[in-house]
C-alpha cells in the first residue's frame, strides 16, 4: 500500500538560513565526503544555489501522479526530491507544477528523471536539477510513497533532511548532522580563503600543503627532459 | 539508387505562422503524445523556438555530401532534418553550411549526429539541435536520399511535415494533422493559462484536477510521522 | 617508478601567439584531420578559445595528488592536460587549483575526468574542458607521471605540444608541426572567408564546390514528388 | 484512441520458408543496407536465427498491458515486435508470456526494452532480442496501438513485414520487397561462398576484389619500416 | 572514521534454505516490486542462482583494500556486496579473492564496479554480478566502512539482509521481511504454475486475467486492416 | 597522404611463445599497470586467450577498405588491431575477412568498432575483441594508415608490439619490454600460486599480506553490531 507521511520533522529554518552561500563541494567535504547524489543530475540553468528541506516523492515510470500529491506536503523552504521506481527519462515536471511549487514557497526540484518547459522554468528562475530534459508527457495512473526514506540518484534521503544544490550538483545532509556539518563547512571555507590568498600570491600547493617530503618518500623522481625531446 | 525528391508538398506557410510561440511540450500533448524525437537531440544555444517545414536528408557515416545536395531543395521557412544511416557523432555541419542555409531563409537544423563551429553558429543565431558537438570533419564520397520518408532520432518524418523545436527538444507534426493539432495546441494553451492562474493563487493540483477521490479509491493512505522520525 | 620531467621543450611563444583566433575545427582540418580529442570533453562555459603548450599529468582514479606536482611545472602560456590511468569522473580540480594555475599564467585545463566549483571557475573565467562535472572529492595517496607522453581522451599528447581548445572541443598539434599547421590554418581561413561571402549571396555548395558532375557520375537521381504525396 | 488492427497482410509463408538459414548481415546487404534495427538489441542467448512476420505492439513506459492484447493477434510464424512510446528498460516480458507465444507458434520476440526470466527463456529456447535485461515488473494501466506502423530501435516496421534476426541483430524487410530481397540474398550467399574458398586458399582481398589500382589512384603509399623502428 | 561492524544479525539460515530455487523476478514481485538493484549489474556467467546474507563493503575509487577487511567478516552462506563511494569500473576483484571467499563458504559477490580473472572465476563457478569487467588493478591506500548500511546499484542494503541473484539480476530482502516474502514468493510460484499450464494449452492472457472488459472500458478499439495495406 | 609501413620489426616469436597461458591481468600488473585497452572491448566468445604481434590499421568511419590493405601485411602469429579515426560502431569485419586472416595464420582481431557474422566467427573459433556487434555494412572509399603508431581504445600501440587478450580484455606490451615483462609475469604467477594455496586453506588476506597494522595505523575501527540492529 502506498503512503503519504505528513507532519515530518525538518532541519530547522534557523539552521537552513546559515547555509546560505555554502556550496555543494564545501558541504560534501565538510561532512566527510558522503551524501553526494550522482553527477547525472544537472541544473537546467546556471548559476544557481539553494538550501532547503527534503520532501521525498517516489513516482512510477512515465507517471507523475504522486508529484501532485507531494506538492500538498510542501512548505516554504522545502525542496521537492523525486525518484522513479525504475529508470525513466520522461518529462515528469513542467511550468504548471513549478508555478504551484513556487506559490508554496518551495525552493527547487531535484529529480532523477526528465523535466520539460525548461525555457519557462528558466524565465521563472525556478531551480531544477534533473537527469534529463524531455518533452515526453506522463500519465496519472499509479500510486507510490511520499515522505518515505528514498534512494535518489544513488543516495538515501530521509524526508526533512537538508538538501544543498548548486552548479556542481546536489548533496544531502541528514537532519541529525545539519548543525555540525554547518560548523565544519564554515571552518572549511575560512581555511580555503586563507589558501586562496596564498595561491593568488603564487605559492605552490606543494609548499602550502607541505607535500614534498611525502612525495619523495613515496618515490617520486625528477628528471630533465633529454635534448632529443 | 539514391534519389532527391523535388517539389515536395509542404504544410502551408499560413498554418506555420500560426504555430509561432507554441512550444514542443504543448504541441506534443496536443497531438496525442506522438512525434517527439529522442531527447538526445539538444539545442546548441538557449532559449530558442522555431516552427518550419521538413526537408529530410540521409547521410552516410562520416560523410556530409548529401547535406550540400539538400541545401538546394530548401526554401524559406524550411527546417533541414539530417539523419545518418548508421550512428555517427562526427561534425557534419558548420558555419559555412549555416551561412548557406541562412541565405536561403532556412529556419534551423535538426541532426542526429554532430555539428561544429558552434561558437559561430551561436553568434549567427542559427538554431541547431544535434545529438553531439564535434570538430571531426567529414568526407564527400557517398550518396543517400533527400526528401524520402526518414527516421530521425527514433521518429518517422515525411518531407514537408511540420517541425517544432525549442529548449525541450523537437517534435514533428504530419502534414495532414498540422491544422487540427494547431487548434488543439491553442485550446491546451488557453486551458493551461487558466490552471496557471489558479496555481499562482495557491490552489493545489489535487483540487484543480479533482484527484483526491480517485487517489483514495486506488488506496492511497496518509499517516503522521512518528515522534521517532 | 613515477617521474616528473622538467625543462621540457615547448612550441615557441611566438608561434602560439599567431594561433590567436584560430578555432579547433580549422586547425584540425589544416593538419589533416588528426589530433582531435574525444568530444566527451566539453567546456564548462562558452564562448571560450585558448591556445597554449601542454603540460601532461597522469592521475590515478579518485586521486589528484599529481595535479599539485604538475602545477610547479607550469609556466605562463601553458595548458594543463590531465588524464586518469583508468576512467574516473570524480571532481579532481576546483577553484583553489584554478587560483594557483591562474597565478602562474596558465591558460586553461583539459581533463578527461571531473571538475568542481564550476560556478567559481566561470566567475574567474578560467577555461576548463572536462568529461564530467562532479563535486566528489579526491585523495592524495598515489603517484603517477608528469610530462611523460600521455593519451588523453583518445589522443597521444607530448609535453610541450600545442593545445587549441574552443566551444567545439580540443585539438593537439605536435611541436614539429606547429608552424606548418599555422600556415595551413590561415590559408584555410582565407579560403573559407571567400566561400562564406559566396554563400551569403545565395550561391550553392553544389556550384561553389563543383559537385554536380561527380554526384551524377555516382548515380544520384532527381524526381518530382508525386501528387499523392 | 488506441487501436488493434486485425487480419493484417503478411509476407507469405512460402517466402518466409525460403529465408531459412539466411543471416541478418546477408539480408541487410542484399536489400541495399537499409532496415537494420539499432545494435542495442541483443539476443538473450546464442546462437540463434529466425525469420518470421511482424506483429507490431506499442507499449507505454513501465506498462506491458498491450503485449497481452498483441498475443491474440499472433499466428504461427509471427515474430512479436514491441516498442515503448518512450525509452524504458523495465522487464516487460517473462516466461509466462513466452509460454503463451510459444503455444501459438510464435517464433520470437523483438523488444526495445527489458525482459526477465531469461534463464527460463533460454531453457525453453524461446528467442528474444532486447535492449536490456531487468527483473523490474510492469503494470497494466495504459493503452497503445497494436499492428500500426511503428518505429522500433530506429527503424519503421509495418505489421506483416519480414523480420530476420540472428546473433548479429535484427533486420526488417518490407512486404513488397521480401521476394526480391530473397533472390538477392541468395545470389550474395553464392558469391560469398566463392570468395570464401579463394580466401581459404590464401588469396588476398586486394586481388579478389581488384583493389590495388584504385588504392594507388587514391594515393596510397608503401614504405619499409626504418631500422630505428 | 571508518568502521567495521562485527557480529551482525543475519536472516536465519533456515529461511535462506527455503529460498532455494526462487528467482529474482518472483521475489521482487512478491515483496511489492522493491529492492531490485540496477540492471547494470550482470552475472559473469549463466545460468546462476544464489541466495545468501549480505556483508556490505564500501570501497574508494580504484582501491580494493576494504574487500580484504570484509572477507574476515564473511561466514558460510554470506554474499559479499561491494559498492564504490564514487563510480569506478576498475577490476577490484579477481581469482585470489574468490579463492579466499570460496574457502570461507561465501556464496557469491555483488559489486557495482569491475572484476577481473573472469575465465578463472567461471572455471571455479564462483558467482559474480558486476557492473563491468576490467583487468585494471587497484591499490590499497584508503579506508571505508564494512557492514554499515550502504546503497549499492541504487538500493539501500543493511548487513545481514537477504540477497537473491540470478540471470535476471539482484534483489535484496530486508531481514524483517525475509519470512513473509518467502511465503508470498511461494504463493506466487504456485499461481504462476497454474497460469503456465493454461498458456501451454493455448489460453490467452486476455481471458486468463479477464482483461477484455477493462480494455474496452478504457476505449480500446479493433479494426480490420484495409485492403490497401 | 596515407601510408602502409611494411617489413616492421616484431617481438620475436620465441618470446611470444613463452607468453602462452599468461592472462591479461597478470601481464598488466607485471608491466606496472599500463597498456590496458579500455574495457569497452569485449570478446565475442569465451573463454579465449591469445598472444601475438600487432599490425595496426586505421579506418575511417563506416569504411573498412584499409582492413583489406592490412591483411596483406599480416604474417602468422600477428594480431590485427583496428581503430577508427572517429567513433563508429558499424560492422567493419565479418566471416570473409576472418577466413582470409585465418588462412594467413593471424591469431585474432582487436577492433574499437563493430563486427558482424559473429555466429560464424564463433564456429570458426576466430578470436575477436570489439566495442560493438553490428550487421551494418561499410564502404570502401577512404584511405588511412597501416602500421603507423595508433591509439586504440585509449592506448598507444606500435606495430610489432605484443598483444595479449583474454576474457578480461586486451593489453599491449611494447617491443622493448616484452622480455622483461615476461619474466615479471612469471614471477607474479608463481607468487600468486603460493597465495592461492594459502587462501584455499582459509588464511586471510589481512594476514597473508600483513595488513592489520597498517589498517590500524590509518585509523580503522571495529565495533560490535548493537542489539537493535
- Please write the tens of the pLDDT for every residue from E104-149: 999 999 999 999 999 999 999 999 999 999 999 999 999 999 999 9
Cα end-to-end span (Å), chain E: 70
Give contacts of F61 with chain B, Cβ < 8 Å.
Answer: 61-62, 88, 90
The whole-angstrom separation of Cα C100 and Cα F216 is 35
Chain E partners within 8 Å of A85 (Cβ): 33-34
Residue F1 predicted with pLDDT over 80? no
What the block records as the C-alpha cell of A45 is 540553468
CA-nearest residue to B138 within chain F is: F61
- What is the structure's pLDDT at E203? 97
Quickly list DSSP for B95-111.
HHHHHHHHHTT--EEEE
Q: At C42, which helix (H) or strand (E)? A: strand C42-43
A146 neighbors A66 (Cβ within 8 angstroms) = yes
Beta partners for B63? B139
Q: Which of D33, D87, D155 sits opposite B151 (nearest CB)?
A: D155
What is the residue-averaged pLDDT of chain F? 96
What pLDDT is recorded for position F227?
Answer: 56
**A4 Cα to chain D: minimum distance (Å):** 21
Q: Are E15 and E178 in contact (CB under 8 A)?
A: yes
* Extended beta strands in D86-126, E state: 108-115
pLDDT at A227 (0 to 100): 56
The secondary structure element, H or E, covering residue C114 is strand C108-115
* ipTM, two decimals: 0.95
Average pLDDT for chain B: 96
C-alpha cell belonging to residue F170: 586486451
Cα D60 to Cα D68: distance, rounded to the nearest angstrom: 13
D147/E209 Cβ within 8 A: no
Partners of F222 on chain E (C-beta within 8 Å) are 3-4, 6
For cell 562532479, what's the residue? C134
Find how far residue A185's CA is from the centre of its chain: 16
Q: Is F211 exposed, middle or buried (0-12, 13-18, 19+ CB in 10 A)?
A: middle
Mean predicted confidence (pLDDT) in F72-87: 97
Q: What pLDDT does residue C229 have? A: 44
Q: Which residues of B touch D87 (CB under 8 A)?
A: 38
Q: A47 preceded by cis ω (within 30°)?
A: yes
pLDDT above 70 for C82: yes
How much is the pTM?
A: 0.95
Name the percent of chain C lying above pLDDT 70: 99
Cβ-proximal residues to D75 (8 Å cutoff; 6+ apart), any chain: D10, D104, D105
Cα E74 to Cα C218: distance, rounded to the nearest angstrom: 68
Length of chain B: 229
First to last CA, chain F: 70
Peptide bond into B82 cis (omega under 30): no
pLDDT band of D229, cuts 50, 70, 90: very low
Which residues of C lie inside 8 Å of B (Cβ-Cβ)?
A: 23-25, 28-29, 33, 36, 39, 42, 46-47, 49, 166-169, 171, 192, 195-196, 199-206, 209, 211, 215, 218-225, 229
Per-residue pLDDT reduced to its tens digit, C22-68: 999 999 999 999 999 999 999 999 999 999 999 999 999 999 999 99
Give the DSSP letter string of F143-199: ---BSS-EEETTEEE-TT-EEEEETTEEEEE-GGGHHHHHHHHHHHHHHHHHHHHHH
Number of H helices, E strands in chain C: 8, 12
Taking 80 as the threshold, does the pLDDT of residue D228 lie above it? no
Smallest Cβ–Cβ distance between B91 and the set C25, C209, C229 belongs to C25
Cell numbers for C212: 554536380
Given this model, what pLDDT does residue A226 score? 82
Q: Which chains touch C (3 or more CB pairs under 8 A)?
A: A, B, E, F
- Quote the CA–CA distance of A31 and A34 in Å, as a whole number: 6
Size of interface B-C (CB pairs under 8 A): 124
The yes-or-no verdict on residue B227 having pLDDT over 90 is no
Q: Which of C33, C38, C151 sits opposite F155 (nearest CB)?
A: C151
Q: Give the pLDDT of residue B78.
A: 98
Q: What is the DSSP letter of C126?
A: -
Residue B128, SS3 per DSSP: strand
- Contact partners, residue D193, CB within 8 Å, separation at least 6: none
- The closest of D34, D10, D74, D42 to D181, measured between CA atoms, is D34
How far apart CA A61 and CA A44 sit, in angstroms, is 21
Q: How far is CA D112 from CA D60, D95, D97, E96, in A?
A: 12, 18, 16, 39
| Cβ distance of C156 and F154 shorter than 8 Å | no
| Stretch (H or E) spanning A216 | helix A212-218
User: pLDDT tens digit string along B138-174?
Assistant: 999 999 999 999 999 999 999 999 999 999 999 999 9
Closest chain D residue to B37, measured at CA = D86
Cell of residue F85, nine digits: 579515426
- Chain D residues inside the 8 Å CB shell of F121: none
Q: Where are the alpha helices (DSSP H) in F6-148?
A: 13-18, 24-30, 65-73, 95-103, 118-124
CA distance F72 to F98: 13
Residue A217 and residue C143 in contact, taking contact as beta carbons nearer than 8 Å: no
Interhelix angle C65-73/C95-103, rounded to 10 degrees, is 10
Identify the pLDDT of residue B229.
44
Please give the grid coordinates belonging to residue D102.
Answer: 510459444
Contact assignment for F135 to D205 by CB distance below 8 Å: no
**Amino acid C1: pLDDT:** 77
Strands A78-84 and A3-6: unpaired
Q: Which residue has the cell 598507444?
A: F156
CA E218, CA E51: separation in Å to the nearest integer? Answer: 41
Model confidence at F229: pLDDT above 60 = no
Which of A115-119, A225-229, E197-201, F161-165 has the lowest average pLDDT? A225-229
Taking only the tens place, the pLDDT of each residue in B192-211 is 999 999 999 999 999 999 99
Helix, strand, coil distribution of chain B in percent, nearest 5: 35, 30, 40
CB B94 within 8 A of CB B112: no
pLDDT tens digit sequence for E1-21: 799 999 999 999 999 999 999
The phi-psi region of residue D186 (left if phi > 0; otherwise alpha if psi is between -120 and 50; otherwise beta) is alpha
Instruction: Output D228 or C198, whichever has higher pLDDT.
Output: C198
CA–CA dist A144, A65 (Å, integer): 9
CA distances from residue C56 to A226, C17, C138, C152, C164 in whole angstroms, order as listed: 16, 21, 19, 9, 15
pLDDT at position D227 is: 56
Convert the pLDDT of each residue in C128-137 to its tens digit: 999 999 999 9
Mean pLDDT of the E31-59 span: 97
- Report the mean per-residue pLDDT for chain C: 96
- pLDDT tens digits for range E51-104: 999 999 999 999 999 999 999 999 999 999 999 999 999 999 999 999 999 999
CB contact under 8 Å between F4 and D220, yes or no, is yes
- Name chain D contacts of E42, Cβ cutoff 8 Å: 133
Q: Are D and A neighbours with ≥3 CB pairs closer than 8 A?
A: yes
- 3-class SS of residue B80: strand
- Cα D147 to Cα E221: distance, rounded to the nearest angstrom: 12
Q: Tell me which DSSP letter residue B77 carries.
A: T
Percent of chain C whose predicted confidence (pLDDT) is above 90: 97
Q: Is the pLDDT at D24 greater than 90, yes or no? A: yes
What are the residues whose beta carbons fall under 8 Å from the beta carbon of B128, sequence distance 6 or more?
B43, B44, B93, B98, B108, B109, B110, B111, B115, B118, B121
Q: How many Å apart are CA C71 and CA E168, to the nearest integer?
A: 48
User: β-pairing, D162-166 with D169-173?
Assistant: antiparallel
Q: Which of D85, D86, D154 sits opposite B151 (nearest CB)?
A: D154
> pLDDT by residue (tens digit) across C4-16?
999 999 999 999 9
- DSSP H or E stretch at residue B181: helix B178-200
Kindly list the residues of chain A whose beta carbon comes within 8 Å of any beta carbon in chain E: 33-34, 36, 38, 85-87, 149, 151, 154-156
Cβ <8 Å between E134 and F204:
no
CA–CA separation, D148 vs D58, rounded Å?
A: 8
Contact B142 F142 (CB under 8 A): no
Before F47, cis peptide (omega within 30)? yes
Is chain D touching chain C, with at least 3 CB–CB pairs below 8 Å?
no
| CB E155, CB E35: distance < 8 Å | yes
d(CA A9, CA B226): 9
Point out the least confidently predicted range of A89-93, A126-130, C140-144, F223-227: F223-227
CB E153 within 8 A of CB E2: no
Q: Helix crossing, B95-103 with C178-200: angle to 10°? A: 10
C-alpha cell at C219: 548515380
E165 alpha carbon, distance to own chain's centre: 4
DSSP reduced 3-state for C177? helix
Q: Is the peptide bond before E95 cis (omega within 30 degrees of 0)?
A: no
Q: What would the pLDDT profile of B94-122 be if each residue is shown by its tens digit?
A: 999 999 999 999 999 999 999 999 999 99
CA distance F56 to F156: 10
Picking from D72, D91, D104, the nearest residue to E25 by CB comes out as D91
> How large is the C-alpha radius of gyration of chain C?
21
pLDDT digits (tens, 9 = 90+) for A189-226: 999 999 999 999 999 999 999 999 999 999 999 999 98
> Which grid coordinates belong to D49?
536465427
Contact B56, B149 (CB under 8 A): yes
Tell me the Cα Rg of chain D.
21
A103 sits in the region (left: phi over 0; alpha: psi -120 to 50; else beta) called alpha
Of C9, C99, C136, the CB nearest to A36: C136
CA distance F131 to chain E (A): 13
Amino acid at each position: 500500500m502506498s503512503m503519504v507521511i505528513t507532519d515530518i520533522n525538518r532541519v530547522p529554518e534557523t539552521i537552513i538560513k546559515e547555509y546560505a552561500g555554502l556550496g555543494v563541494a564545501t558541504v560534501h567535504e565538510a561532512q566527510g565526503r558522503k551524501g553526494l547524489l550522482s553527477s547525472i543530475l544537472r541544473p537546467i540553468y546556471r548559476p544557481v544555489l539553494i538550501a532547503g528541506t527534503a520532501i521525498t516523492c517516489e513516482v512510477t515510470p512515465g507517471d507523475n501522479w504522486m508529484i501532485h500529491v507531494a506538492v500538498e506536503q510542501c512548505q516554504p523552504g522545502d525542496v521537492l526530491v523525486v525518484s522513479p521506481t525504475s529508470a525513466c527519462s520522461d518529462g515528469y515536471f513542467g511550468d504548471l507544477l513549478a508555478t504551484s511549487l513556487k506559490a508554496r514557497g518551495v525552493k527547487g526540484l531535484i529529480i532523477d528523471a526528465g523535466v520539460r518547459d525548461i525555457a519557462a522554468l528558466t524565465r521563472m528562475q525556478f531551480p531544477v536539477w534533473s537527469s534529463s530534459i524531455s518533452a515526453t508527457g506522463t500519465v496519472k495512473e499509479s500510486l507510490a510513497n511520499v515522505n518515505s526514506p528514498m534512494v535518489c540518484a544513488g543516495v538515501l534521503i530521509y524526508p526533512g533532511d537538508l538538501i544543498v544544490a548548486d552548479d556542481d550538483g546536489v548533496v544531502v545532509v541528514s537532519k541529525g548532522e545539519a548543525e555540525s556539518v554547518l560548523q565544519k563547512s564554515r571552518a572549511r571555507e575560512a581555511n580555503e580563503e586563507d589558501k586562496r590568498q596564498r595561491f593568488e600570491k603564487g605559492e605552490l600547493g606543494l609548499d602550502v600543503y607541505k607535500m614534498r617530503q611525502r612525495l619523495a618518500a613515496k618515490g617520486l623522481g625528477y628528471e630533465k627532459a633529454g635534448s632529443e625531446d
